[in-house]
Amino acid sequence: MPILPIDIGRYGTPEMRRIFDEENRLETMLEVEAALAWAHGQVGSIPKEDALKIMEKASTKYVKLKRVKEIEDEIRHDVMALVRALAEACGPSGAHVHLGATSSDILDTATALQLKEALKLIEKRLNDLESVLLAGAEQHKKTVMIGRTHGQHALPTTLGFKFAVWTREVARHLQRLQDCRGRLLVGKMSGAVGTQAGLGSNALKIQQLVMERLGIKPADISTQIIQRDRYAEFTCIIAITASTLDNIASEIRELQRPEIGEAFEAFGQKQVGSSTMPHKRNPIICERICGLAKILRSLVSPALENVPTWHERDLTQSSCERFVIPEECILLDYMLILMTRVLRGLEVDEERMVENMGLTQGRMMSEAVMLALAKKGLGRQKAHELTRELAIKSHAEQRGFKEVLMENKAVQELLTNEEIEEVLDPRNYLGTAIEQIELVGKMTRRERRVRGLPD
């Protein structure tokens, strides 16, 4: 019976789970066996009528998962169980099934086909998330809020600036996946140690034909297995992408704290926040994203440890990958959907943002004051020290920074009251924030057009 959260349907989408379910895995492996038989027929290694028969029967319509498992229980070898089940279905033509191949030719090539589907889905989810972030950057490019460093009030920024930063992180993940694609989506027909000895004089042609039929590239060279640096690279990209989602979700969780209260996950009318505290409104979706990101980062270590293998191959990576590859794809796909949903429904309290900027009584504008004094001839270092002393005085006496500035003789000699008012307005100290947001928008839309997507 189902045990793990993916198996019971708690996490993951039907589209991605289908790619990695047992039935589809069997179908994909049969597709590889069919392509191998076809290639043999093309080069004359087996009669074409036998190749056609194998191609016809290489389907879960004829080769049942139940039968494959029955054979595997008897012989303790998953691929050979598939080979025997397919051979049974093919009658006399079954004598030519799996000719010249080794198990990993079928397994690794089938994995490439699954990853091709999975990658397409992940890229779609990333494109959707990028679109939502792009819209948020534009919508909130002038929504002024306090920027925080070390968890403390720093300088004014805008909510749109945060969205723009996240937009470019997602864009980089799309670039990384695109760069990785050619290295990841490769198959092979190379035999037991990679020399293709069992495939005969037409081995290279057979491999090329198989991969062309399947729509992937042949590995440039391999041993009995596709070298696992390819999968490890993909897992690292998955983990980095998950960490970006963790970062965004963590920011929303922080902004949702009652002490801050600037942005919130949407909360359904009938949603329950706590089994005992009716008032609770918990950021559970963001928390789920952060929790699942821990799982995806944890998969990097086994993926890297799968790269070393004894001689031409061993089986230490096989059992590990049965967890890592489906899990990383299913969970990232699910997390991307969750993150997109949260951002689409994000509730923003602009009034609270303004209130929070007032918590430091104007002291958040100390850098602007310092620079204004420096430009008036006080000098940067003296201006810094004076502003620091006045900020400390404002804090200690719990008085407005403007009041403290206006009563200081040195400041009064350099800045008028009107200039102090102007320099303390956070809207006047956004630097190039809005310009940067607009540049990010133009850059990202240009890239999306290249990908064939709407702006």
User: What is the spatial distance between Cα 175 and Cα 165, in angstroms, rounded to a whole number?
Assistant: 16
Q: What are phi and psi of 158, to 5 degrees?
A: -130, 155
159-184 vs 433-450: helix axis angle to the nearest 10? 30
Angle formed by the axes of helices 316-344 and 103-139, nearest 10°: 20
294-325 in b/e form (b: 16+ CB < 10 A) is eebbebbebbbebeebeeebeeebeebbeebb
Residues found in the chain: 455
- Kindly name the residue from 45, 96, 104, 150 that is annotated as catalytic: 150
Q: Return the DSSP state at 455.
A: -
What whole-number distance in Å separates Cα of residue 443 and Cα of residue 70?
56
Q: 């694609």: which residue's tokens?
A: 181
Residue 78's contacts (CB-CB under 8 Å, 6 or more residues apart) are 68, 72, 103
Q: Amino acid identity, residue 352?
A: R
Which residues have C-beta within 8 Å of that of residue 84, sequence separation ≥ 6? 71, 75
Among 201, 274, 298, 301, the active-site one is: 274
CB within 8 Å of 118: residues ≥ 6 apart: 16, 19, 20, 329, 333
How far, in Å, CA of 52 to CA of 360, rounded? Answer: 78
274 labelled catalytic: yes
Question: Among this protein's residues, is 150 annotated catalytic?
Answer: yes
Q: Which residue has the tokens 């890297």?
A: 304
E-assigned strand segments in 57-185: 144-149, 152-158
Helix axes 22-43, 203-214, angle to 10 degrees: 130
The amino acid at 373: L
Q: Is 201 exposed, middle or buried (0-12, 13-18, 19+ CB in 10 A)?
A: exposed
Determine if residue 76 is left, alpha or beta; phi over 0 gives left, psi from -120 to 50 gives alpha, anything else beta. left
CB 122 within 8 A of CB 49: no
Tokens of 31: 């597709």
Query: Which residues are part of the catalytic machinery?
Result: 150, 274
